[in-house]
A and B are shown apart, each in its own frame.
Chain A
């Protein structure tokens, strides 16, 4: 569990994170959303005690990060892609991290397998592609079998197979009862993984809500459903808040109810689906609407540290 209370970070007269309060709960995936420069990475660095807050506090499992005896067991984090010496091998990097916590060699091999890095485990990290670097960062995050997993833009540089891998991994981690925080600047992508959303702009909290509520409240959450029994599904989904329009015999366009709930209804009644797609573009628009006043950079160049 991560709890941020009135968390604030100022660099000179520039406030990067502004009295931000949110909670990341165990057993669910929390999406941490905001445009570039909104303060996501700075917030994550404060969680790990790498940056000291100017005001407020943030705790991990009830304590400040540095107050833990074995911090890698509390929270595993992927910050920027390559926070690894390019001359070192993946095994060397992970072994050194493991040794600080008395974690055995077996666990190092385990996370290397988990991240699919077996074939490059002994190669210099400098030769890694962006995607392999991300996988190594995720392996490092999972090394200490942490209660909280925090990943900053984990799908950056991953191929479709890798994106799918991350999605499944995060769902699995949450299902194991861990708290998962995932930052992104892409709403559509996050909505597919996350249960909860914390949306920030210019360091301030804009929304702290569930994906379903966000979809419902912004009124944009159309879901495309395709089924051979579309007509039957249509009656099953019917409800006061639900609008269903059909474009043809097998396809429905549903609003007022999330993809998750539609899937459950279909399963409960044994209706086979062959497509269930939250229409991301409109989610993205809702997100844009929400953050558009808070955009740090429209076309002006980034200045200094604030770009983080």
Chain B
């Protein structure tokens, strides 16, 4: 905490107390940056509403003996319905919103020129990326957990008496809901990494959508044996395993699924760190 002392003839005016740049100070500064732009609040609120609203509506419109299969968003399409998959009905929309939030936090610095002010203040550069990843991931985890738990609890009222109704205490329920929040938090970090890597909001968002939503579809073009072997490891499929209530043969176990997705995110973040450290801004 010691103030840096640099001797200088400051002609009779009190010198400003200035302290060395430390990670906790960068973290605080990045918190201020998140707080002071509107897109943060819009993205976070929208993500929360999508999760809560879609999830609870899903439960209330569930008609028991129905098809038993959703044609909903990728990741849970074609699976038997259960109370958890209803609660996370809004998840793939929310994942885009939270991912975009991550992308904007880094790519937005380049498109607006803020990055020059930022890196002039923190010339070691990497602390800025870590701080953004921690803050985006942390904020989204908390909000996403609130969203899916709210959706699940509200949904329980709608599902009261249905065969698929489960309670929080039942096997795997808590794990799935927390898995959904962890997946969304990692998607936000993925956005942070893509934004820093591509340095353009449009590019980052396009990459995000491609990887999460389009890649699994394109993979269908692969030969069957390849597809079966690789499919579980695609980012959104691996992540999907983390919040599925029941394990199936074509999916990784929840813990592994989350770890594989985290690996993809870590890889992208490492590439972003390399580019941030090495190239001119």
Q: Does B bind A?
A: yes
A103 contact set on B, CB distance < 8 A: 16-19
What is the CB-to-nearest-CB distance from B28 to chain A, in angstroms, rounded to a whole number? 5
Q: Specify the chain B residue showing the minimal Cβ separation from A177.
A: B9
Q: Is A145 an interface residue (CB 8 A)?
A: yes
- Bound CA–CA A88/B40 (angstroms): 11
- Bound CA–CA A74/B280 (angstroms): 21
Of the stretches B75-83, B85-93, B109-117, B176-184, the one at the interface is: B109-117
B120 touches A102 (CB 8 A): no
B1 contact set on A, CB distance < 8 A: 102
Interface size range of chain B in the complex: 35 or more
Q: Quick one: which of B106-138 are within 8 Å of A by CB?
A: 108-109, 112-117, 119-124
Q: Specify the chain A residue showing the minimal Cβ separation from B7.
A: A147
What is the CB-to-nearest-CB distance from A150 to chain B, in angstroms, rounded to a whole number? 10
Interface SS of B by simple majority: loop
Given A70-B18, A145-B18, the answer on whether A85 and B114 have CB atoms closer than 8 Å is yes
Partner of B4, one of A69, A79, A82: A69
Partner of B121, one of A52, A101, A107, A147: A101
A97 contact set on B, CB distance < 8 A: 29, 117, 121
- Bound CA–CA A66/B125 (angstroms): 9
Q: Specify the chain B residue showing the minimal Cβ separation from A75.
A: B120
A50 touches B119 (CB 8 A): yes
Q: Specify the chain B residue showing the minimal Cβ separation from A50.
A: B281
B25 contact set on A, CB distance < 8 A: 99-102
Q: Is A83 an interface residue (CB 8 A)?
A: yes
B121 touches A104 (CB 8 A): no
Interface SS of A by simple majority: loop
A70 touches B20 (CB 8 A): yes
Q: Is A116 an interface residue (CB 8 A)?
A: no
Given A50-B120, A88-B33, A92-B32, the answer on whether A73 and B6 have CB atoms closer than 8 Å is yes
A101-B25, A177-B10 are known; give 20 further A-B pairs, CB within 8 A: A45-B116, A45-B280, A49-B119, A51-B280, A71-B123, A72-B18, A74-B6, A77-B120, A79-B116, A82-B113, A83-B114, A83-B115, A83-B116, A85-B109, A88-B36, A99-B28, A102-B17, A102-B20, A177-B11, A178-B8
B: which residues have CB within 8 A of A?
A: 1, 4, 6, 8-11, 13, 15-22, 25-26, 28-30, 32-33, 35-39, 108-109, 112-117, 119-124, 280-281
A-B contact pairs, 13 of them (CB 8 A): A51-B280, A65-B123, A71-B21, A84-B117, A86-B112, A88-B37, A95-B36, A96-B32, A99-B32, A101-B19, A102-B20, A102-B25, A178-B8
